[in-house]
Structure 1
Amino acid sequence: MAKSSRLRSRPVNRSGLQQLPTRLLQYPLVPCKGRITVTQEDLACLDAGEFLNDVIIDFYLKYLLLEGVGGSVAQRSHVFSSFFYRQLSRRRAAGEDHASSVPDRHIRHQRVKTWTRNEDIFTKDFLFVPVNQESHWFLVVVCFPGLDVVRHEDFQPAAGGPDRPAGKITVNMKPQQPPECTQQGWRKRRVMKRSCILVMDSLKLSNHENVCRLIRDYLQVEWEVRRKTPRLFTPDSMRSCSCRVPQQDNSSDCGVYLLQYVESFLQNPVVHFDLPVRLENWFPRQRVRQKRDEIRSLIMRLKDKEPNK
C-alpha cells in the first residue's frame, strides 16, 4: 500500500542536540501570506521509492496554480492545501464536545471557515482537494460547486496548444489519443456540465464515500454562510464518480500521481461530465516516472532565484 512520507527523525550533532532542518526555499519567492517552506528533508522525499510528504504536495500544487500552467483553467480553479481535509475530517476534540447539540457539519466547517474568507469558491469551476486517507494520497475534484442544474452548452475549443509548466523536462513519448471527454479529445458541438465530485485514485484502495459526504457537508454550510440561503448538497444533487485514471505500478507513487492528475487537468481538463469519467489515456506512465526529477530541478532553480541568495 502506498503511504505518505512521515517526518524523519532529525539528525543529531556531536553535542547530542537535534539539528533543525536545512531550509532550501520559501515559495512563492515574493513575501506573502501562506508561503511554503521547503527543506532539505522535504527534498529527500523525491528520491526514488520514497513517499511524498505534504510539503512537496502543497508546494507543487501552489506552483501549478500560480505560475506552472496558467491559462483560463487555473484562473477558474481553487486548490486547497493538504491540511484542509485533515482538519475537516478529524474527530471532535475535547473542546468541541460541549457543542453536542451543534450538527457535526457545522463543527467541521468551523475549523476551516477562515481558509476561504476572502474567496467565494462557488464562483470557481474546479476545487482541487488533496486527500491523505490511511496513509494513501488521492485527489478529489469538485466541479462547478455553484451550479444547481445540469446544463448543455456549446463547446468552445481552447485557442492554441495546451499550457506547459515553465522549465518542464521533456521526454520522448509516443503520442496518445486524448480521452474523449477532455478538451483535446472532444469532437462534438455540445458538452454537459454538472455539479459533481470526481475522485482520482491511483490505487483505488480507499473508501471514498465518506470523503465525498464530508465535502458535501462542508459545501452546504459554506453556501449558507456565504450566500445566506439554504441549499442541500446531496448524492443526488452532486453526484460522485471514481474516475478511471492511469494507475501506479509500485507502492510509493500515489502522491506523484495526485500531482500529475492536477497538472493534466489544468493542461487538458474534462469538458463533458457524463458520468462515469474515463481518463485511462490522460497521460503516459513515463510522464510520472520523470516527475520526481522534474520537481527536484524546479525547487533548485527557484532556490537559485530566491532574493538575498
Structure 2
Amino acid sequence: MNDEDFVRGDVMDLSDVPKSEQFSTAITCSCVRLIPYRFETIEPVTFTSKGIRINGILKDMDEKFTLNIYKHEVIKVIAHFGSSDQPQTLLTLYLLKTCALYVKTQLCLPDDQPSEQTGFKSQTSFHTRRLVLLFDSIPAATRETIKTMFSCVDEISAIDAADIFDRIADSDRKATRTQPSVRQLRADEQMNLLMYPPKGTGSLSVSMEDFVCLRKESYVNDIIIDFYLLWLRNTLIPEATRERTHIFSTFFYKRLTTLTRPTDMRQTAAQKRHARVQKWTKVVDIFDKDFIIVPINEQSHWFLAIICFPNLKGPVTYDTNQPVEPQHLKRARGKKVSMQIGNTTITPLTKRGEGGALPAALNSEICRLGDDGESERDEAEGDDSDMASEDSYNSNSAKEPTATGKEQAAATPTSTSTPTPQVSSGPARSSGAEEVPAVKQPLILIFDSLAGASRSRVVATLRDYLTCEYRVKKPDAQAHVFNKDNMPGHCVKVPQQNNFTDCGLYLLQYVEQFFAEPIRDYRLPIKQLTNWFDFITVTKKREDISNLIQKLMDETNTQQRLILPVIEFPTLNGQLVEYPEEAESAEFEEEEGHEDDELNSESYEENNAVAEMEVDPVGDDLPVAKTPTAVVVSTTATTVNSGAATVTSKTKRFVLKRSLQNGLGTTMTSNGSVMLPQLVSTTTASGALGGAGTHLGQRANSGSLKIRKIEP
C-alpha cells in the first residue's frame, strides 16, 4: 500500500473486511510506554483484523487519546509471553516513521526531547520508534492470534525481557531525578508569574497581585484584561480574522482622554487627543482592519467599544460588497434608563453636565472602587441624539412589523417565529415577501454590562480620533470626517451583569463571543445578542483564567513547577459554589438617636455621600454590598437638585459593611474549624451586590457582611 494513498480510520471498523478474515480480541493492558513516557490505558487494548486500537489518558493533562495503528505500519514485534520467573508479559512494536509521527502527535509529545529516549529523530538508535505494551498476562489463544496477525513476531527469553524491564525502570529513575521540584505559592508573595507570550515583542507580565484579582467578588484589573485579550487574539481568533483585527490595550483610551500639556497650541482639541496616542499605531494601519477593539474603564467601570469596518464609506452587502441605501436612523432621546442589579433597580435622577452620563460621584460609588484618582477626562462633546436608537429601521423595509417589548424580550438569537430584523441572526432579514440582504457598515458598537449610562461622549471621542488618524495615515486621500451619519454609534443589547464586580469579565466574554459567534448583519438595531451567552459562562471565567495562567506557567517553568495559591472562585470545576452561610450572613443593627441630625451636619454628609439614586428593593431582599467601605442605599426616591441631595425625614438608610476572611477559599468559625464551600446545582445568580467595575490595578477583599440599619 502506498503511503500517499493511506487514509487512517478506525481499526475497529471491519465492514470492508471479508467475514472469513474478521477477528477482534481485547487484552487488559497495564500501561503503554514510549520511553521515558508512561501512559495509562482506560480500556483493554483491542487487536483486530486491521490493527491495534489503544485508548488512554495523557499524562498531566486529564485528556483522552486514541491510537489506531494498522498492522502494515508495524515493522517488527518483539514479544515475551511470560514465564515462572518473569510473569509480566510485553509486546514491543517497531513502527514506520509516518506512524511514529502520528503516535507522537496523538500523545502530545514535545519536539525538544532527546532522540535517544523518544526515538523519533534518530533512525539508527536501538530505541527507534519503539512502542511498548505491558500486560499482566496474555491468554494462549490470543498469543496465537497475535503471531498470525504479525508475520514478524520475535519471541524473546525471560532474560532478555528482564533486561528490557530493567532499562524501563532505569529510565523511570532518571526521569524522577530530572523532574522539576514543586512549590506551592502564597497569595501574599510579590512575584511575577509569567510573561505572555514568552518570546517576541509585546510580552505582558502577569504578577501574583494580578492573579489575586480573580478572587470571587474582586475587581479584575487591567493586566488580566490585557493578558486575556492577547491570549484570545493569539489562540482563539481564526487567523484570517486575526489579520483583520486590531486590539488596543486597556491604557489606550485612558491615554487618549487624559489631559496633558500640548506641544502645539494651535491644534484643535481632537488633534491634541490624537497626538497623545499617535505613536500607538506607528506600525499598523487601522483602516486596513475590519474590527478595532477598544476596552474602556470609565468611572471605575469596564465596558467595550468595537469600531467596525472603518475602511468603508457606507453600507454594503455582507457577502458581495455591493453598495446599499443607508438606513434611516432614529436618534435616541435623552431619557432616564433604569439599571437592574440583582434584586435592585437603580434609576439615575440626574445627568452629568455634558453628555448625559451618570454623575461622577454616583457612578463611582455604584461601581465602587473608591477614588481612582483620575482627573476629568478630555472627551469630545456628545449627546444621546448622536446615538442610533433601538427603533431605527431600514429604508427598504419601512413596513416591517415592530415587535413589542415583551416579544423582543422573549425572542432568542435563533428565533424564526417573528419575521422582524430585531431577532434575525441569519445572513438576510425578511420583510414580508421581500428579503433584505445582510449588510456591513461603519459602526461604533458599545457593549456594556451595566446599560443605562450614556456613551455618546465615548463614541464622539472615537470618531474624532478616527478623523485625525485618517488624515495622518491617508495624507494623499481626500479628508474624511467621521460623524454620526457615516459612523453611527449604537449600544447593543447584550447580557447584563447581576452584581457589581463582573464588568471586566463581561468585557472579555463580549470579545470572545464576538469572534466565536460573529455578527452576520450589521443593520441597526442589533438585537439578536440579548441571549448571547448564559450566566455561568461569565461566572466561571475567573476559574478558567486561573487554569489558563497555571497551564502557561507549567509550559514555561522547566526547573521548578510553581503551583498557584488556592483562592475563592464562584465556581469549582465550572459549577457554582455555595459558600457557608456564615460567610454571607447579614446582621441588622438599628441605631437610635438620629432624629436630630441636620442636613448640613457632618454625620449627615458622611451617611448620605452616595444617596443620589433610587433603589427599589424587591420583597424582603436587601442589596448586599461586597465593598471594602460603607455604601449607603436609600429605600425611597431621593431628589437631586444641582448636586445637592434632599432627603425626606422618613428615609431609611442601610450602611453595608464587610469583614475580612482568610485568603484561602475557606471560612474560619469561632472554634477554629474550617468551613469548606459546597457545590450546588443552581444556575441562577446569588443576587449579592458589590463594586460594579475595576480600577486599574486595584482589588478588594471578600468576606462576611454586616449590615447596620440607620433610621433617622
TM above 0.5, one fold?
Answer: yes
Secondary structure, counterpart of 2:438 in structure 1: strand
Identify the residue that residue 466 of structure 2 maps to in structure 1: 219
Residue equivalent to 1:140: 305
Alignment of 1:27 onto 2:27: no
| Number of residue pairs aligned between Structure 1 and Structure 2 | 267
Secondary structure of the corresponding residue to residue 129 of structure 1? strand
* 8 A Cα contact 1:155 1:191, kept in partner: no
Gap change, CA 1:57 and 1:112, over 3 Å in 2: same
Instruction: Provide the secondary structure at the position in 2 that maps to 1:110.
Output: helix
- 1:80-113 per-residue CA deviation (whole Å, 9 max, x = no partner) reads 000000000112x2x32x6332111111111111
**2:215 matches 1:47:** yes
Q: 1:72 to 1:285 in 2, by over 3 A?
A: farther
Shifted more, 187-196 versus 57-66: the winner is 187-196
In the other structure, the counterpart of 1:264 is 513
Superposition deviation, residue 179 in structure 1? 8.0
- The corresponding residue for 2:256 is 88
Do residues 114 (structure 1) and 354 (structure 2) align?
no
Distance, in Å, in 1 between the alignment partners of 2:290 and 2:427 is 22
Aligned to 2:426: 186
Distance (Å, rounded) in 1 between the aligned partners of 2:320 and 2:537: 28
Q: 1:238 aligns with which of 484, 487, 508?
A: 487
C-alpha contact 1:178 1:185 (8 A) present in aligned 2: yes
Tell me if the contact between 2:425 and 2:519 (Cα under 8 Å) persists in the aligned partners.
no
Distance in 2, matches of 1:304 and 1:255, equals: 26
Q: Paired residue for 1:61?
A: 229
> In structure 2, what is the equivalent of residue 10 of structure 1?
none
- Shift, 1:34, TM fit: 1.8
> Does the Cα contact within 8 Å between 1:25 and 1:303 map onto a contact in 2?
yes
1:283, distance to aligned residue in structure 2 (A)? 0.9
Q: Counterpart in 2 of 1:14?
A: none
Give the match's secondary structure for 1:64: helix
The answer to whether the 8 A contact 1:152-1:193 is kept is yes
Q: 1:295 aligns with which of 525, 529, 545?
A: 545
Q: Hey, what's the Cα distance between the residues in 2 that align with 1:210 and 1:187?
A: 32
Q: Can you list the C-alpha shifts for 1:218-244, whole angstroms capped at 9, x where unaligned? A: 111111101113110001110000000
Q: Which has the larger radius of gyration?
A: 2
Indicate if the aligned counterparts of 1:82 and 1:130 stay in contact, CA closer than 8 A.
yes
Q: Percent identical across equivalent pairs?
A: 37
CA distance in 2, matches of 1:266, 1:104: 34
Kept in 2, the 8 Å contact 1:200–1:261? The answer is yes
**1:179·1:280 contact (CA, 8 Å) conserved in 2?**
no
Pick the structure with more helix per residue. 1
Does structure 1 conserve the Cα–Cα contact (< 8 Å) formed by 2:306 and 2:445? yes
Show CA shifts across 1:118-143 (max 9, x none).
11111111111000000000000000
Aligned equivalents of 2:450 and 2:277: distance in 1?
28
**Corresponding residue SS for 1:280:** coil
Moved more, 19-28 or 75-84: 19-28
The amino acid across from 2:492 in the alignment is: C
Closer, same or farther: CA 178–141 of 1 in aligned 2, 3 Å: farther
- Note the residue ranges of structure 1 that are not aligned, 5 or more in a row: 1-18, 157-175
Q: CA RMSD in A?
A: 2.3
SS in 2 for 1:99: coil
Q: Is the 8 A contact 2:225 2:504 kept in 1?
A: yes
Unaligned regions of 5+ residues in structure 2, if any? 1-187, 322-411, 429-434, 560-712
Q: Which residue of 2 aligns with 1:274?
A: 523
Instruction: Please say if residues 179 and 281 of structure 1, whose CA atoms lie closer than 8 Å, have aligned partners that are also in contact.
Output: no
The whole-number CA distance in structure 1 between the counterparts of 2:536 and 2:515 is 19
Residue 200, structure 1, aligned to residue 417, structure 2? no
* TM-score normalised over the length of structure 2: 0.36
**CA drift at 1:63:** 0.5
Separation of aligned partners in 2, 1:105 and 1:221: 7
Is residue 256–residue 274 contact of structure 2 (8 Å, CA) maintained in 1?
yes
Q: Distance in 2 between matches of 1:307 and 1:227?
A: 46
Structure with a larger share of its residues in strand: 2
> How far apart are residue 256 of structure 1 and its match?
0.2
Aligned 8 A contact 2:189 2:208 in 1: no
Match of 1:285 among 535, 545, 555: 535
